[in-house]
Chain A
Amino acid sequence: MKKRISLIVLATTVMVSVLSACGGSGGNAETSGQGEGGSKQTKTLRFATWDTGDALKIEQDIAKKFEAAHPGTKVQVEAYADGFDQKLAAGFGAANPPDVMYMWDFPTYHQSLEPLDGYADKDPDLNIDDFYKGLFNYGKIGDTLYGIPAGFTTRVVYYNKKLFDEAGVPYPKDGWTWAEFQDIAQKLTDKSKKQYGFGVRAENDTYDLQGFVWSNGSSFISPDGKAIDGYMNSKETAEAIQMFGDMVKNGSAVLTGGKGQQSGDDIFKAGKIAMWESGIWPLESFKQAGVDVGTVEMPAFPGKPVKGVLAESALSIAKDSKQKDLAWEFVKFYVSNDSIKMRVADLPVRQSVVTELKKDQDPLYKPFYAMLERSSDTPAFLLNPKWNEVNRQLSAAVEAVMHGASAQEVLNQAVKDSERYLK
Chain B
Amino acid sequence: MKGQRLRQLYRRLVSGSYRSIRTKLLVCFLIVALIPLLSLGAVSYYQSAKMINSQFGKYGENAVAQLEQQTNSSLGRMKQTSETIYSYLLDPARTGLGNRVPVTYSEIIEKNDFEALLKSLRTDRTAGIYIITPSGYYYGESNLDVAKLDNIPAWKSRPASYQGTYWLGFYEQNHAMRGDDSHLPVLGLAVPIHHPNGAQDGSTILIEENAGELLHMFRLFEEDTKAHLTIKSPDGRLIYESASKFAPKKNDVIWERTLAVNQWTIEARLPAKAFYKSSGVIRSNTVVVAVISCVLAFGLAYVFSSRFTARIRTLKDSMQKVSFGKLDTRLPVEGRDELGSLDMSFNRMVSGVQTLIEEVEQSERLKKEAELRAFHYQINPHLLFNTLNSIQWKARLEGAEEIRHMLYHLTMVLEGNLDISQELITLGRELRMIDHFLKIQEIRYGEVFRYDLHCGESLKRYLIPRMTLQPLFENIFFHGFTDGVGSIELDVREDNDDLVLTLKDDGAGIAAEKLEQLFKPKPESRGRGGLGVQNADQKFKLHFGPPYGLTVHSTKGEGTTILIRWPKKEEGSDGDGKKN
Give chain A's interface residues, CB within 8 Å of chain B. 1-2, 5-6, 9-10, 12-14, 16-18, 20-21, 23-25, 83, 202-203, 257-263, 266, 392-393, 395-397, 399-400, 403-405, 410, 413-414, 417
Distance in angstroms from B29 CB to nearest chain A CB is: 6
Measured between beta carbons, the chain A residues less than 8 angstroms from B178 are 262-263, 266
Q: Do A410 and B105 have beta carbons less than 8 Å apart?
A: yes
* Contact of A203 with B142 at beta-carbon distance under 8 Å, contacts A24-B56, A396-B105, A414-B105 already known: yes
* Contact sample, A vs B, 8 pairs, CB 8 Å cutoff: A2-B304, A5-B297, A6-B32, A6-B33, A10-B40, A258-B101, A259-B137, A403-B103
Q: Does B391 contact A (CB under 8 A)?
A: no
Report which residue of A393, A400, A410 has the largest number of chain B beta carbons within 10 angstroms of its beta carbon.
A400
Interface string of B24-37 (1 = CB under 8 A from A): 00000100110011
Known interface pairs A6-B33, A6-B36, A396-B109. Does A17 touch B44 (Cβ–Cβ under 8 Å)? yes
Interface of A is mostly: helix
CB nearest to A11 among chain B residues: B40
A418, B297: Cα distance in complex, Å: 99
Separation of A266 and B300 alpha carbons in the complex (Å): 87
Bound Cα distance A203, B103 (Å): 12
Smallest beta-carbon distance B344→chain A, Å: 23
Q: Which of B29, B33, B48, B109 contacts A18 (CB 8 A)?
A: B48
B282 touches A20 (CB 8 A): yes
Q: Which residues of A sit under 8 angstroms from B72, Cβ to Cβ?
A: none
Question: Nearest chain A CB to B114's CB is how many angstroms away?
Answer: 12
A25 lies within 8 A of B55 (CB): yes
Any chain A CB within 8 A of the CB of B165? Answer: no
Stretch at the interface among B285-293, B335-343, B349-357, B376-384: B285-293
Q: How far is the CA of A396 from the CA of B51 in the complex (A)?
A: 68
Of the candidates B41, B108, B137, B304, the one whose C-beta lies within 8 Å of that of A399 is B108
**A262 and B104 alpha carbons, distance in the complex (Å):** 22
A189 to chain B, nearest CB (A): 22
Please tell me which one of the listed residues B136, B278, B285 contacts residue A17 in the complex, with CB atoms under 8 A apart.
Answer: B285
**Bound-state Cα–Cα, A5 to B136, Å:** 85
Residue pair B36, A10 in contact (C-beta under 8 Å): yes
Knowing A5-B296, A258-B142 are in contact, say whether A24-B52 is a contact too (CB < 8 A).
yes
Q: Does B301 make an interface contact (CB < 8 A)?
A: yes
Which residue in chain B gives the minimum CB-CB distance to A258? B142
Interface centre among B105, B286, B300 (most CB of A within 10 A): B105
Contact present for A396 and B112 (CB under 8 Å): yes
By CB atoms of chain B within 10 A, which of A2, A6, A263, A403 has the most? A6
- Across the interface, name the chain B residue whose C-beta is closest to A413: B105
Convert B261-284 into 0s and 1s, putting 1 for each residue whose CB lies closer than 8 angstroms to a CB of A.
Answer: 000000000000000001001100
Nearest chain-B residue to A262 (Cβ)?
B177
Q: Which A residues are in CB contact (< 8 Å) with B48? A: 17-18, 20-21
Residue on A nearest B110 in the bound complex, by CB: A396
Given contacts A262-B178, A393-B109, 16 further A-B contacts (CB under 8 A): A2-B32, A5-B300, A6-B297, A9-B289, A9-B293, A10-B37, A13-B41, A16-B289, A17-B41, A21-B48, A21-B51, A23-B281, A24-B56, A395-B112, A403-B102, A410-B105
- Report yes or no: A9 in contact with B301, Cβ–Cβ below 8 A: no
Interface flag for B435 (CB, 8 Å): no
User: Which residues of B, 426-444, contact A by the 8 Å Cβ criterion?
Assistant: none
Report Cα–Cα, A392/B301, bound state, in Å: 97
Partner of A2, one of B101, B112, B142, B300: B300
Contacting pair A13 B112 (CB below 8 A)? no
Q: Are A5 and B33 closer than 8 Å at their CB atoms?
A: yes
Residues of A within 8 A of B282 (CB): 17, 20-21
Contacts of B278 in A (CB 8 A): 23-24
Q: Which residues of B contact A (CB under 8 A)?
A: 29, 32-33, 36-37, 40-41, 44-45, 48, 51-52, 55-56, 59, 101-105, 107-109, 112, 122, 136-138, 142, 144-146, 177-178, 278, 281-282, 285-286, 289-290, 293, 296-297, 300-301, 304
A17 B103 Cβ-Cβ under 8 A: no
* Residue of chain B at shortest CB distance from A404: B103
B138, B286, B301: the one within 8 Å of A259 (CB): B138
A158 to B205 CA separation, bound complex (whole angstroms): 39
**Alpha-carbon distance between A403 and B109 when the two chains are bound, in angstroms:** 13
Counting chain B CB atoms within 10 Å of each CB, the highest count among A14, A83, A257 belongs to: A14
Q: Please, which residues of chain A bring their CB within 8 A of the CB of B107?
A: 400
**Distance A31 CA – B301 CA, assembled complex (angstroms):** 50
Chain B nearest CB, measured from A242 CB (Å): 14
Q: Are B52 and A21 in contact (CB under 8 A)?
A: yes
Across chains A and B, which 10 residue pairs bring their CB atoms closest together, nearest first?
A9-B293, A403-B103, A396-B108, A400-B105, A21-B48, A410-B105, A17-B44, A396-B109, A24-B278, A20-B282
Residue numbers in A under 8 Å from B108 (CB-CB): 396-397, 399-400, 403
Q: Is the CB of B52 within 8 A of A13?
A: no
CB pair B105 A2 closer than 8 Å: no
B325 to chain A, nearest CB (A): 39
Residues of the A chain whose Cβ atoms lie less than 8 Å from the Cβ of B29: 2
Nearest CB in chain A to that of B108: its residue? A396
Distance of A18 Cα from B109 Cα, bound (Å): 71
Chain A residues near B33: list those with CB within 8 A: 2, 5-6, 9
Given the complex of chains A and B, what is the CA–CA distance between A417 and B109 in angstroms? 11
| Chain A min CB distance to B52 (Å) | 5
Q: Chain B's nearest CB lies how many Å from the CB of A254? A: 15
Asked if A260 and B136 make an inter-chain contact with CB atoms under 8 angstroms apart, the answer reads yes
- Which residues of chain B are within 8 angstroms of A393 by Cβ–Cβ distance? 109
Residues of B within 8 A of A20 (CB): 48, 281-282, 285
State how many angstroms separate the Cβ of B2 from the closest Cβ of chain A: 23
Q: How far is the CA of A403 from the CA of B56 in the complex (A)?
A: 64
Alpha-carbon distance between A232 and B213 when the two chains are bound, in angstroms: 48
In angstroms, Cα B105 to Cα A397, docked, is 5
**Chain A minimum-CB-distance residue to B32:** A2
Asked whether B296 lies within 8 Å of A405 as measured between CB atoms, the reply is no
Let me know if B297 and A9 touch, CB within 8 A. yes
* B304 → A minimal CB distance (Å): 7
A9: shortest Cβ distance to chain B, in Å? 4
Give CA–CA (A393, B110) in the complex, Å. Answer: 11
- In the complex, what residues of B have CB within 8 A of residue A1's CB? 300, 304
Complex alpha-carbon distance, A392 and B113, angstroms: 9
A257: which B residues are within 8 A, CB to CB?
142
Residues of B within 8 A of A21 (CB): 48, 51-52, 282
Separation in Å of the A101 CB from the closest CB of chain B? 19
Closest to A401 in B: B105
Q: How far is the CA of A375 from the CA of B411 in the complex (A)?
A: 185
Q: Are B300 and A17 in contact (CB under 8 A)?
A: no
B52 surroundings in chain A (CB, below 8 A) = 21, 24-25
Q: Judging by beta carbons under 8 Å apart, are A392 and B285 in contact? A: no
A414 CB to nearest B CB, Å:
7
Shortest C-beta distance, B466 to chain A (Å), equals 68
A residues within 8 A CB of B289? 9, 12-13, 16
Whether the Cβ atoms of A400 and B104 lie closer than 8 Å is yes
Tell me the minimal C-beta distance from A422 to chain B in angstroms: 18
Instruction: Give, as a whole number of angstroms, the nearest-CB distance from B337 to chain A.
Output: 13
Chain B residues near A258: list those with CB within 8 A. Answer: 101, 142
Question: Known contacts A260-B145, A263-B178; is A17 also within 8 Å of B101 by CB?
Answer: no
What chain B residues lie within 8 Å of A203 (beta carbons)? Answer: 142
Kindly name the residue among A21, A263, A417 whose own CB sees the greatest number of chain B CB atoms within 10 A.
A21
Given A6-B37, A13-B290, verify A260-B146 contact (CB < 8 Å).
Answer: yes
